[in-house]
Structure 1
């Protein structure tokens, strides 16, 4: 019951923000701001997302990338918020682009859950600690070109000796 009420409150707040900005800068200015904030926001999410992937790839085996995983989740959420047209969603997405805000949210999430988060990774391919095994894959097609009447005739098996 709380979720629909929160959604309705959010939508009303977005409509009020659109009306307020529209009053200040006009209709074309409002549309331009929404489009510009979407483009710039998604570009920033892309840059920070690639940086987070590079950091996660640079971790050694056995290191749990909790912060990198959390950053990835926050950046994906920011991307969704920037893709949704609206000024409040853009402000929330912009807040998720700030690393100290993400760290504070991680700490808050850990406090609320009463547990610390861990990310477990497994390695299935060659790498440190796993032996490399060569694999051979032979890909091919075949066609049976023998006809039943052309099939070789084998002699009958010999009769058992008594």
Structure 2
């Protein structure tokens, strides 16, 4: 998977950008294409600066209020990436950068990112009050407390405590 991602990022995206630049150049002319690329880079830097300042103010306000500035930090990261995409020459990267810098679309992208990664964070989060944090440990051959051969005992164990409850005493 990482190889495929690198292939897309470093081979296919530049080829797509060059193709789109050539098509735009054939439609409106080379000098207008260059002027358009310079103009959208300048507009992107201005937009990134204004959105970055607004995100910084929201970050400081969250700290002043005593709350964790999670949303503000994620906005700042998205603004940085959006500015980088807009400063990169190319029309496809400019579209992605504009989507990351414009507040309504950035809010949608932020929700998608939070939804995507919140399940992963919750799955990896240690459980409070459980010895060892409730983390799962893989026990395999040669691990302490397991038989030497792999098999049914070669599964995930969860650290924790158990209390036996008399079912007759339940309400």
- For the criterion TM > 0.5, the same-fold answer is yes
The answer to whether residue 20 in structure 2 is matched with residue 26 in structure 1 is: no
Q: Distance in 1 between matches of 2:67 and 2:49?
A: 24
Structure ranking higher in helix proportion:
2
Work out whether 1:13 is the aligned partner of 2:45.
Answer: no
The TM-score, its normalising length taken from structure 1, stands at 0.67
Structure 2 distance, partners of 1:17, 1:73, is 27
Shift of 1:70: 1.0
2:110 aligned residue: 106
CA shift in 2, pair 1:100/1:115, >3 Å? farther
Contact preservation (8 Å) 2:75, 2:110: no
CA distance in structure 1 between the partners assigned to 2:41 and 2:50 by the alignment: 14
Q: Which runs of 5+ in 1 are unaligned?
A: 118-162
Aligned 8 A contact 2:78 2:106 in 1: yes
Match of 1:89 in 2: 93
1:115 Cα shift? 5.1
Aligned-partner Cα distance in 1 for 2:114–2:108: 10
Per-residue CA deviations over 1:13-33 (Å, capped at 9, x if unaligned) read 101110111011111001000
Residue in 1 that maps onto 2:155: none
- Match status 1:62 vs 2:66: yes
Per-residue CA deviations over 1:56-114 (Å, capped at 9, x if unaligned) read 11223431111111110011001111121111111111111122222222222222221
Report if aligned partners of 1:110, 1:116 keep a CA contact under 8 Å in 2.
no
- The CA distance in 2 between the partners of 1:98 and 1:36, in whole Å, is 17
Partners of 2:121 and 2:99 in 1: how far apart?
A: 23
| RMSD after superposition | 1.7
> For residues 92 and 44 of structure 1, do their structure 2 counterparts lie closer, same or farther at Cα, with a shift above 3 Å needed?
same
* Structure with more relative contact order (C-alpha pairs < 8 Å, separation 6 or more): 1
Larger Rg: 1
| 2:82 matched residue in structure 1 | 78
Q: How far apart, CA to CA, are the structure 1 residues paired with 2:121 and 2:70?
A: 9
Partner of 1:53: 56
Say if 1:79 and 1:93, in contact at 8 Å, map to a contact too.
yes
